[in-house]
Amino acid sequence: MTVREIDSSEITRVVRELCIDINYNVPEEMVSLMREAREKEESPLGRQILDLLIRNQDLAAEGEYPYCQDTGYTVVFLDIGQDVHVTGGDVYAAIDEGVRQGYSEGYLRGSIVRDPLFDRKNTGDNTPAFVHTRIVPGDEIRIQVDAKGAGSENMGKHAMLKPADGLDGVKLFVLKAVAESGPNACPPGIIGVGVGGNFEMSAVLAKKALMRKVGQPSPDPQIAELEAELYEKCNALGLGPEALGGTQTVLAVHVETMATHIASLPVAVNIECHAHRTGARVI
């Protein structure tokens, strides 16, 4: 068996490039979905707003002004192949160095305070990143970076439902979360839903659901059907673009599930705004 060596400076380089790129260029599916929403929107004010948001998307892509001034929490999904040996230093320090360089060189806002309670001082460079690591087969490292705005993140909801609440209970919980997020989550966005696992796994699943290519249905037909139903019902809520009324409240609903306990039905809703900024690279 051979072990592939990857220098930690490669991780820094990729994180730095992704931080800059995603804050100016949203994924191409967001470009097309926003334009589709513009065609589907029935409210005249909603259409005007979508026109503005599309202009904002185009302007950001020119590379002068980030899409949104909230350049987010830097969330990193790190999949390390088990046949990789990282050399040259600490992996997490390498990620933070990438964030530091990317946020500084990309003229991005540092939005992280070093302590939540006693010393809310801005770290200035958006570190630390919040990293989810998985060991996977293979000899590559996959890095997905997400710049997650707090306006939508703050509207997230979590509950330990009862098994008797069932599918209907989950649907109601998701719809209430979206209804209550109102304008704060900057619709139209993406709804990430995590069901199952335990307390924390459901929340991570909800975030993972947002990392999927936007609008791509779950490979599980039952879940894909649930996603389609929730998409239709979220849009029936009438929030519309910027929650000023309309038919286009969400661009997609993504649901991820996993095994859970006989006594539990954990559910988490992680809401993403129209400024969905994510990208991935493989080293």
Residue 194 CB, nearest distance to another protein (Å)?
19
Distances (CA, A) of 241 to 39, 55, 188: 13, 14, 5
Q: Which is nearer to another protein, 78 or 177 (CB)?
A: 177
> Which residue lies nearer to another protein by CB, 220 or 232?
232
- Using CB under 8 A, list all residues that contact another protein: 42-43, 45, 49, 52-53, 55-56, 59-60, 64-71, 107-111, 120, 122, 124, 149-155, 168, 171-172, 175-176, 179-186, 232-233, 236-240, 242-247, 273-275
**Residue 267: partners with Cβ closer than 8 Å, 6 or more residues away:** 158, 159, 161, 170, 173, 174, 193, 194, 195, 202
Minimal distance, residue 237 CB to another protein, in Å: 6
| Minimum CB distance to another protein smaller for 171 or for 281 | 171
Q: In the complex, what is the shortest distance from the CB of residue 24 to another protein, in angstroms, rounded to a whole number?
A: 9
Residues 73-83 as b/e (b if ≥16 CB within 10 A, e otherwise) read bbbbbbbbbee
Nearer to another protein, 200 or 232 (CB): 232
Q: Dihedral angle at the C-alpha atoms of 63, 69, 72, 78, nearest 10 degrees?
A: 0
Nearer to another protein, 44 or 282 (CB): 44
Residue pair 30/252 in contact (Cβ under 8 Å)? The answer is no
Of the two residues 72 and 266, which places its CB atom closer to another protein in the complex?
72
Q: Which two tokens stand for residue 119?
A: 């010393």
| Shortest spacing between CB 142 and another protein, in angstroms | 28
Nearer to another protein (CB atom), residue 9 or residue 56 = 56
Provide CB contacts within 8 A for 216, sequence distance 6+.
none
* AA letter at 83: D
CA–CA distances in Å: residue 3 to residues 7, 137, 139, 141: 13, 12, 7, 13
Kindly state the smallest distance separating residue 1's Cβ from another protein, in Å.
Answer: 47
CB of 197 to another protein, least distance (A): 23
As a residue count, the chain comes to 283
| 50 contacts 248 by C-beta, under 8 angstroms | yes
The nearest distance, CB 40 to another protein, in angstroms, is 13
Verify cis geometry, omega within 30 degrees of 0, for the bond prior to 219: no
197 sits in the region (left: phi over 0; alpha: psi -120 to 50; else beta) called left
